[in-house]
Chains A and B, each alone.
Chain A
Amino acid sequence: MLTRIILVLALSISLQAKINVVASITDLADIANQIGGKHVNTLSIARGSQDPHYVEVLPSYMIKVKRADMYLMVGMELDQWAEQIIDGSRNSDLKIVDCSENIIPLEIPTRKVDASMGDIHPNGNPHYWLDPENGKAIARTIARHLKEVDPQHTQEFDANLVNFIESIDKLENEWAEKFSNLQGRSLIYYHNTWPYFNRYFGLKAVAFIEPNPGIMPTPTHLDHLIHLIQGQNIQLIAMEPYFSGKAPTFLKNKTDIAVVGLAQSVNARKGTETYQKMLTYNLETLQKAFTP
Chain B
Amino acid sequence: MRPKYFLLLFVFIGSLQAQTSVNPDISVIGELGMSHFDDETTLNASSVEIAIEGYVNPYARADVYLHKHMDGHPIELEEAVLSIERGLPFGLALRAGKFRPEFGGINKQHLHLFPHIILPVPVAQILGDHKWSSSGLEAKWLLPFPWYNNLSVAFLQDGISAEAHSHDEEEEEETEEETGKAFSSRYSMFFDLGDVSHLEIGLSYYQLVDEGDENISAVDFKYKWLPNKYRSLVWQNELLRKSPSIHTEEGEVEEHHEIITAYSMLNYKFNKVWNVGAIVDYSSDMEEAMYHSEGLFLGFSPVEETTVFRVFLKQAHHGDHNPGLLVQAQLLWSLGPHKAHKF
Chain A interfacial positions (CB closer than 8 Å to B): 47, 50-51, 54-60, 62-63, 66, 80-81, 84, 86-90, 92, 115, 119, 214-216, 242, 244
Residues of B within 8 A of A92 (CB): 86-89
Is A62's CB under 8 angstroms from B148's CB?
yes
Q: Name the contact of B342 in the complex, choosing from A57, A90, A214 (C-beta under 8 A).
A: A57
Is B228's CB under 8 angstroms from A58's CB?
no
Q: Name the contact of B61 in the complex, choosing from A47, A66, A87 (C-beta under 8 A).
A: A87
Residues of A within 8 A of B88 (CB): 90, 92
Q: Specify the chain A residue showing the minimal Cβ separation from B306.
A: A115
Q: Specify the chain A residue showing the minimal Cβ separation from B189.
A: A59
- The 4 residue pairs across chains A and B that have the minimum distance between CB atoms: A81-B340, A59-B190, A59-B148, A87-B85
Residues of B within 8 A of A50 (CB): 228
Known contacts A80-B340, A216-B273; A58 and B198 CB within 8 A of each other:
yes
Q: Name the contact of B343 in the complex, choosing from A58, A86, A115, A119 (C-beta under 8 A).
A: A58
| 19 chain-A/chain-B pairs, Cβ below 8 angstroms | A51-B229, A54-B229, A56-B343, A57-B340, A59-B343, A60-B192, A60-B198, A81-B340, A84-B339, A87-B61, A87-B83, A87-B86, A89-B142, A90-B92, A90-B93, A92-B88, A214-B304, A244-B230, A244-B272
Residues of A within 8 A of B302 (CB): 216
Q: How far is the CB of A86 from chain B (nearest CB, A)?
A: 8
With an 8 A cutoff between CB atoms, is B46 at the interface? no
Is A47's CB under 8 angstroms from B195's CB?
yes
Q: How far is the CB of B200 from chain A (nearest CB, A)?
A: 7
Q: Specify the chain B residue showing the minimal Cβ separation from A244.
A: B230
Kindly name the residue among B142, B273, B339 whose own CB sees the greatest number of chain A CB atoms within 10 A: B142
Is A56's CB under 8 angstroms from B190's CB?
no
Among residues 194 to 249 in chain B, which have CB atoms less than 8 Å away from a CB atom of chain A? 195, 198, 200, 226, 228-230
Residues of A within 8 A of B335 (CB): 115
With an 8 A cutoff between CB atoms, is B1 at the interface? no
**Whole-angstrom distance between the alpha carbons of A56 and B225 in the complex?**
12
Q: Specify the chain A residue showing the minimal Cβ separation from B192.
A: A60
Is B148's CB under 8 angstroms from A60's CB?
yes
Q: A47-B195, A214-B304 are in contact. List 9 more A-B contacts (CB 8 A).
A: A54-B229, A56-B342, A57-B343, A59-B190, A80-B340, A89-B142, A90-B142, A119-B304, A242-B228
Known contacts A215-B303, A216-B272, A244-B272; A60 and B86 CB within 8 A of each other:
no
Residues of B within 8 A of A55 (CB): 340
Q: How far is the CB of B162 from chain A (nearest CB, A)?
A: 30
* Chief secondary structure at chain A's binding surface: loop
Residues of A within 8 A of B146 (CB): 63
Residues of B within 8 A of A119 (CB): 304
Q: How far is the CB of B90 from chain A (nearest CB, A)?
A: 9
Q: Specify the chain A residue showing the minimal Cβ separation from B145.
A: A63
**Whole-angstrom distance between the alpha carbons of A214 and B302 in the complex?**
12
Residues of B within 8 A of A214 (CB): 304
Is A242's CB under 8 angstroms from B342's CB?
no
Q: Specify the chain B residue showing the minimal Cβ separation from A67.
A: B146
Residues of A within 8 A of B226 (CB): 56
Known contacts A58-B198, A62-B148, A244-B272; A84 and B342 CB within 8 A of each other:
yes
Among residues 66 to 87 in chain B, which have CB atoms less than 8 Å away from a CB atom of chain A? 83, 85-87
Residues of B within 8 A of A54 (CB): 229, 340
With an 8 A cutoff between CB atoms, is B150 at the interface? yes
Q: How far is the CB of A268 from chain B (nearest CB, A)?
A: 13
Q: Name the contact of A63 in the complex, choosing from B83, B148, B195, B271 (C-beta under 8 A).
A: B148
Q: Name the contact of B91 in the complex, choosing from A57, A66, A84, A215 (C-beta under 8 A).
A: A66
**Whole-angstrom distance between the alpha carbons of A242 and B226 in the complex?**
13
Residues of B within 8 A of A86 (CB): 86
Q: Specify the chain A residue showing the minimal Cβ separation from B83.
A: A87
**Whole-angstrom distance between the alpha carbons of A244 and B85 in the complex?**
37
Q: How far is the CB of B294 from chain A (nearest CB, A)?
A: 29
Residues of A within 8 A of B230 (CB): 244
With an 8 A cutoff between CB atoms, is B10 at the interface? no
Q: How far is the CB of A112 from chain B (nearest CB, A)?
A: 13
With an 8 A cutoff between CB atoms, is B147 at the interface? yes
With an 8 A cutoff between CB atoms, is B4 at the interface? no
With an 8 A cutoff between CB atoms, is B2 at the interface? no
With an 8 A cutoff between CB atoms, is B341 at the interface? yes
**Whole-angstrom distance between the alpha carbons of A242 and B228 in the complex?**
7
Is A84's CB under 8 angstroms from B89's CB?
no
Q: How far is the CB of A147 from chain B (nearest CB, A)?
A: 23
Residues of A within 8 A of B92 (CB): 90
Residues of B within 8 A of A58 (CB): 190, 192, 198, 343
Residues of A within 8 A of B190 (CB): 58-60
Q: How far is the CB of B48 from chain A (nearest CB, A)?
A: 17
Among residues 267 to 315 in chain B, which have CB atoms less than 8 Å away from a CB atom of chain A? 271-273, 302-304, 306
Is B86's CB under 8 angstroms from A90's CB?
yes
Residues of A within 8 A of B89 (CB): 92
Among residues 90 to 107 in chain B, which have CB atoms less than 8 Å away from a CB atom of chain A? 91-93
Residues of B within 8 A of A89 (CB): 142
Q: How far is the CB of B159 from chain A (nearest CB, A)?
A: 28
Residues of B within 8 A of A60 (CB): 147-148, 190-192, 198
